[in-house]
A and B are shown apart, each in its own frame.
Chain A
Amino acid sequence: AQSVTQPDIHITVSEGASLELRCNYSYGATPYLFWYVQSPGQGLQLLLKYFSGDTLVQGIKGFEAEFKRSQSSFNLRKPSVHWSDAAEYFCAVGARSSASKIIFGSGTRLSIRP
């Protein structure tokens, strides 16, 4: 079955600390992978995406993610978080061949400790 798992419901990190949000997927076809961020009361904004090529992808706001096929993972990282990074983060997986099959994880809420 196709699925996306974000094992951490809520994470709190101190401002300036490093961050890693986990994402594991199960997908039959060659996956496209995405990370979105949602600020309170807002829609989803794309942080970064992986289609092919270099497995380390850079996104906006200083985020990066690494695709590890052997581990079926696409973890999101940031070396030093800012208070403005507090938001909910969603991992998603899709296939270019399918219009419908973009599957979202349940999200990880990030809080920043001053």
Chain B
Amino acid sequence: NAGVTQTPKFRVLKTGQSMTLLCAQDMNHEYMYWYRQDPGMGLRLIHYSVGEGTTAKGEVPDGYNVSRLKKQNFLLGLESAAPSQTSVYFCASRDPGQSTDTQYFGPGTRLTVL
């Protein structure tokens, strides 16, 4: 049981390049989330999904796209990276069940856009 995993752990991009971050969870959770973490700002929600085939915008969705083709995977895409997207990205999954409604986080992806 690996929990929530993220690929890659580190990445450096040039402005305008594209990339996809992969999040995988093996806990059969319905809900999945992508956050970005910037110094002094806590975690901000980018996009989330409440089930396979569904996605929704969070607090800071601009410049990002997501897909949830399989229940266990949630992909975050940057079509044209900008320096403002330099951040640490965290994926989380959540079990909305009555007694265990808790988010479980992956280890993070540190992205630098030059």
Contacts and interface: CB of A to CB of B under 8 A. Distances in A.
Secondary structure dominating the interface of B:
strand
A107 B38 CA distance: 11
A100 interface: yes
Nearest to A44: B105
Contacts, number: 53
A18 B102 CA distance: 27
Interface in B28-59: 31, 33, 35, 40-45, 48, 50, 56, 58
B39 to A, nearest CB: 9
Interface string A32-61: 101010000111111001010000000000
A34 B45 CA distance: 16
B107 interface: yes
A36 B108 CA distance: 15
Given A43-B107, A90-B42, A105-B42, A100 B102 contact: no
A45 B107 CA distance: 10
Given A102-B103, A105-B42, A43 B58 contact: no
A102 B42 CA distance: 12
Interface residues of A, number: 22
A99 interface: yes
A106 interface: yes
B42 A32 contact: no
Interface of B: 4, 31, 33, 35, 40-45, 48, 50, 56, 58, 90, 92, 94, 96, 101-108
18 contacts: A9-B40, A32-B101, A43-B106, A43-B107, A44-B103, A45-B105, A46-B104, A51-B101, A96-B101, A99-B31, A99-B48, A99-B50, A99-B96, A100-B45, A104-B35, A104-B43, A106-B40, A106-B42
**Which 8 A/B pairs are nearest by Cβ-Cβ distance?**
A43-B105, A104-B42, A106-B42, A104-B43, A44-B105, A43-B107, A99-B50, A100-B48
